[in-house]
């Protein structure tokens, strides 16, 4: 296996994504979604956790000691049927790599046991892109929060619920469906008047990305290069995995 081209630096933000092997479905029902969310919460620690079952047993019997520092801040996420997107801020050395390794191994084991299968669930190592400016961070977070719109799925925020962190950017905490963890929205929400303002503008970003992505499929390499040079943000939409 070759070395990953990107280096993960503490305090920096990254767009992380992957899909099921052979584009297969990685979630079959709401309980799989809950398992993914629980994994994001349980494995986000420098401590050795073991399995979610072991963690849950200790929690139930009040055997958990104070948790160690978090590996990452989860800024945004979106879980579709055959792939996922995350925006993460690394907090400790190798935090992203450890977090993603624990999640991928744990969820694959759960999925294989539950559905009587074997082998790899995800398509190789997770993909990563460095987010190198505040402007691009806002852009990528909107893309992730509204990734279902990029793929043509029209859901209300309340219906989307656990699949996306969008609810945490729009609603008060008492209305969230994700009960497992809170995303760090501090770098984004200060730009907007309120949740509705964020929803409107992030939906616009996602829908424009979908339009541009569809157009780019028919462009020549020369046309793509010229667009990138003349308007880097507008054409630099995140890599796709569908």
Mind listing the pLDDT tens digit for each residue in 110-169? 999 999 999 999 999 999 999 999 999 999 999 999 999 998 887 777 788 899 999 999
Looking at residue 240, the DSSP 8-state letter turns out to be P
Is 70 exceeded by the pLDDT of residue 229? no
pLDDT at 3: 60
Whole-angstrom Cα Rg for the chain: 18
What pLDDT score does 235 carry?
A: 43
Chain-wide mean pLDDT for the chain? 86
Which among 37-51, 62-76, 97-111, 203-217 has the top mean pLDDT? 97-111
Q: Are 19 and 241 in contact (CB under 8 A)?
A: yes
Q: Which fold has domain 13-235?
A: Alpha-Beta Plaits (3.30.70)
pLDDT at 54 over 80: no
Could you report the per-residue pLDDT of 61-108, keeping only the tens digit for each? Answer: 444 455 789 999 999 999 999 999 999 999 999 999 999 999 999 999
pLDDT at residue 230, rounded to an integer: 57
DSSP annotation of 20 reads B
Domain coordinates of the chain in residue numbers?
Answer: 13-235
Distance from the Cα of residue 5 to its chain's centroid:
20
Q: What is the pLDDT of residue 126?
A: 95
Share above pLDDT 90 across residues of the chain, in percent, rounded to a whole number: 68
User: What whole-number distance in Å separates Cα of residue 73 and Cα of residue 95?
Assistant: 10
> What pLDDT, on the 0 to 100 scale, is given for residue 118?
95
Question: pTM above 0.95?
Answer: no
Both tokens assigned to 92: 């400790």
Whole-number Å distance between alpha carbons of 239 and 242: 10
For residues 198 and 95, give the distance between their C-alpha atoms in angstroms, rounded to a whole number: 29
Tracing tokens 């390794």 back to the chain, one arrives at 101
């Amino acid at each position: 296996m070759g070395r990953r081209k990107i280096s993960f630096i503490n305090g920096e933000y990254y767009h992380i994504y992957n899909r099921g092997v052979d584009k297969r479905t990685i979630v079959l029902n709401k309980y799989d979604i809950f398992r993914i969310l629980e994994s994001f919460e349980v494995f986000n620690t420098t401590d050795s956790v073991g399995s979610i079952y072991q963690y849950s047993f200790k929690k139930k019997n009040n055997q958990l000691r104070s948790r160690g520092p978090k590996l990452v801040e989860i800024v945004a996420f979106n879980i579709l049927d055959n792939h996922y997107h995350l925006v993460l801020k690394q907090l400790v050395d190798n935090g992203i790599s450890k977090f993603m390794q624990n999640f991928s191994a744990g969820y694959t084991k759960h999925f294989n046991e539950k559905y009587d299968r074997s082998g790899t669930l995800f398509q190789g190592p997770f993909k990563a892109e460095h987010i190198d400016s505040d402007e691009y961070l806002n852009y990528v977070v909107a893309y992730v929060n509204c990734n279902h719109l990029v793929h043509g799925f029209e859901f209300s925020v309340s219906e989307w619920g656990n699949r996306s962190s969008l609810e945490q950017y729009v609603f008060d905490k008492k209305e969230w469906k994700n009960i497992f963890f809170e995303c760090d929205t501090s770098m984004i929400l200060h730009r907007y008047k309120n949740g509705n303002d964020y929803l409107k503008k992030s939906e616009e970003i996602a829908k424009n990305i979908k339009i541009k992505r569809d157009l780019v499929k028919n462009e020549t390499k020369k046309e793509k290069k010229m667009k990138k040079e003349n308007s880097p943000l507008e054409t630099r939409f995140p890599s796709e995995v569908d």
